[in-house]
């Protein structure tokens, strides 16, 4: 990847989760720079964040997330019964800030009327989810897994039981 593209990608990522359009542009740029043609890049971008690829936690939760959740919330959350489990959504583009900024996690805590020390944050990206740690939230980072396979959420259930 040429140096110009690295700088362009870094600049695009810096605010990628502040709006749905900025996020899509950053993902598409990254996919194109990786050598994907436009058709494949668009298909990958549209698949990213589809909750049908994950297994849900059977608990009432708050969701602090990026743009894909907003898309999948409308498309999939009702179908899979997640609307009844998720008490609040704190989506980066709705607040103009993105992970790992602790302010995003603070907004979620306020929406749930809870304190950081009484909250378990489950994430999948140490770089983005470290904002919860900065607030004093117990944080569990799940390992990456292939699509449609178990995420290890049984560990979470044992922790909260």
The CATH number given to whatever domain includes residue 64 is: 3.40.50.1000
- Same domain for 112 and 156, yes or no, is yes
Residue 96 exposed, middle or buried by CB count within 10 Å (0-12, 13-18, 19+): exposed
- Same domain for 40 and 94, yes or no, is no
CB 89 within 8 A of CB 65: yes
- Same domain for 59 and 12, yes or no, is no
Residue whose pair of structure tokens reads 């749905």 in the numeric block: 20
- Same domain for 58 and 102, yes or no, is yes
pLDDT of residue 117 exceeding 80: yes
d(CA 121, CA 63): 9
Pairing, β 120-123 against β 138-141: parallel
Taking only the tens place, the pLDDT of each residue in 6-61 is 788 888 888 888 888 888 888 888 888 877 788 877 877 776 655 455 444 444 67
The number of domains in the chain is: 2
Residue whose pair of structure tokens reads 């939760």 in the numeric block: 61
Q: Give the global pTM.
A: 0.61
d(CA 137, CA 120): 6
Report cis status (omega within 30 of 0) of the bond before 100: yes
State which residues form the domain around 93: 53-160
- Same domain for 60 and 26, yes or no, is no
Report the pLDDT value the prediction gives residue 35, as an integer from 0 to 100: 79
Nearest in space to 23 (alpha carbons), one of 33, 35, 14: 14
- Same domain for 43 and 88, yes or no, is no
**In 14-91, alpha helices (H):** 20-33, 38-47, 67-72
């Amino acid at each position: 990847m040429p140096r110009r593209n690295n700088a362009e990608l870094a600049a695009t990522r810096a605010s990628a989760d502040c709006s749905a359009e900025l996020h899509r542009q950053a993902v598409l740029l990254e996919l194109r720079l990786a050598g994907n043609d436009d058709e494949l890049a668009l298909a990958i971008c549209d698949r990213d964040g589809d909750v049908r690829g994950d297994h849900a936690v059977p608990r009432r939760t708050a969701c602090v997330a990026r743009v894909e959740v907003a898309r999948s919330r409308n498309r999939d959350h009702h179908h899979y019964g997640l609307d009844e489990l998720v008490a609040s959504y704190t989506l980066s583009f709705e607040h103009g800030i993105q992970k790992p900024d602790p302010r995003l996690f603070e907004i979620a805590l306020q929406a749930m009327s809870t304190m950081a020390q009484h909250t378990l944050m489950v994430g999948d990206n140490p770089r983005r989810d470290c904002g919860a740690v900065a607030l004093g939230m117990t944080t569990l980072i799940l390992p990456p897994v292939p699509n449609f396979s178990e995420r290890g959420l049984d560990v979470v259930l044992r922790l909260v039981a």
